[in-house]
Structure 1
């Protein structure tokens, strides 16, 4: 039996989200003048809340405004590394690290499954000691530029489960031969929590806490 411990990242392992902080971190280093678009980025989020646009489009529009439509990988890589250092110093829950260490010691394969972009997830995952990543991916051109466009699905809600299952297929992992732990803070991850053998509501928001209590799922409050 193969054992997997799959973790959401934002507000599960980290205390806060990482999308907007990375956008600002990158804008300050690439082109500080782009910070004039911050109010417009807020308006884009309002449009999402009003259900005028989907979450994937929010990411594309805000990345286009704050970072640019096409940015060289060579420029983004050191920025992502410095952002990861900042996250590890100031934004990671101590007890989440304990949980990761316990699952690692138990011999479980550690997987980060997050709606955040691989642009900044990869260096964070490396520092957390993750074995694999399932994440939202930006389109990359043959000229070593990263587009603001999302390649495929945004790894959120039901799409996260589809992307995890697709990853398992690529890894030739038979679901019937796996025991899976899944940790998340948000009700959007109910499809994955239902699918997991050991669902864990970690630092759950109100709606997930209610759902977890109703279903008898484990609830943990880290830090």
Structure 2
């Protein structure tokens, strides 16, 4: 039986969300005039909360507004690397580091499964020791640059399950031959929590549903899940 741990990123591995800080970092470290677009981004988020549109168009708008049409290439990579370094230094939950280390020591395969864009999620996954990163994918132009346009769907909710199933198939692993543990901070990830053999809701105040375990990763000694 192959043990696999599926980790969400924002507010699970990290203390705080990463997408808006990434947008602001890229604007500030590139052309600061783009920061004039931050109020528009705030209005766009309010429009999303009001259900005028979905997460995919929202994220594409934010990337175009504050980063540009191209969101990862050789010129942008140093700024992306600086963002990743800052996240690793200041935004990783200590209990997440402890759980990742414990899983790795136990021979569990580690997979980051996140709605965050591959633009920076892949680098965070690699730095934290994950074997694979299943993130929101972006279209690529003929020169190898990643674009603000999302390739397929935002990796959120039930889409995470489909992407995990595709990854298992790529690894020639049958679902019945795997024991999956999913860690995430929010009940919106119910599809993957229920798909896993063990679903763990991370957060001191998170409200777990029957059948889910719960863990608080705000401190190393709180990393162990409890039913």
Aligned position for 2:20: 20
Aligned position for 2:213: 218
Aligned position for 2:200: 200
SS at match of 2:75: helix
TM-score, scaled relative to structure 2: 0.93
Aligned position for 2:157: 157
Contact 1:184–1:204 under 8 Å retained in 2: no
* Cα displacement (A) at 1:146: 2.0
Alignment of 1:58-207 (within 5 A): 58-71=58-71, 73-203=73-203, 206=206
* Cα displacement (A) at 1:123: 1.4
Tell me the distance in 2 between the aligned counterparts of 1:102 and 1:183: 14
Contact 2:63–2:71 under 8 Å retained in 1: no
Provide the aligned length of Structure 1 versus Structure 2.
Answer: 218
After superposition, give the CA deviation of every residue in 1:144-179 in whole Å (9 maximum; x if it has no partner). 322110001111011111111111112221101000
Aligned position for 1:47: 47
* Cα displacement (A) at 1:69: 1.4
TM-score, scaled relative to structure 1: 0.94
After superposition, give the CA deviation of every residue in 1:93-117 in whole Å (9 maximum; x if it has no partner). 1111000001001100000000001
* Cα displacement (A) at 1:42: 0.8
Query: Residues 140, 205 of structure 1: CA spacing in aligned structure 2 closer, same or farther, 3 A cutoff?
Result: farther
Contact 1:184–1:202 under 8 Å retained in 2: yes
Task: Give structure 1 regions of 4+ aligned residues with deviation exceeding 2 angstroms.
Answer: none
SS at match of 2:156: coil
- Structure 1: state its 5+ residue gaps: none
* Cα displacement (A) at 1:72: 5.5
Greater helix percent: which structure? 1
* Cα displacement (A) at 1:71: 4.4
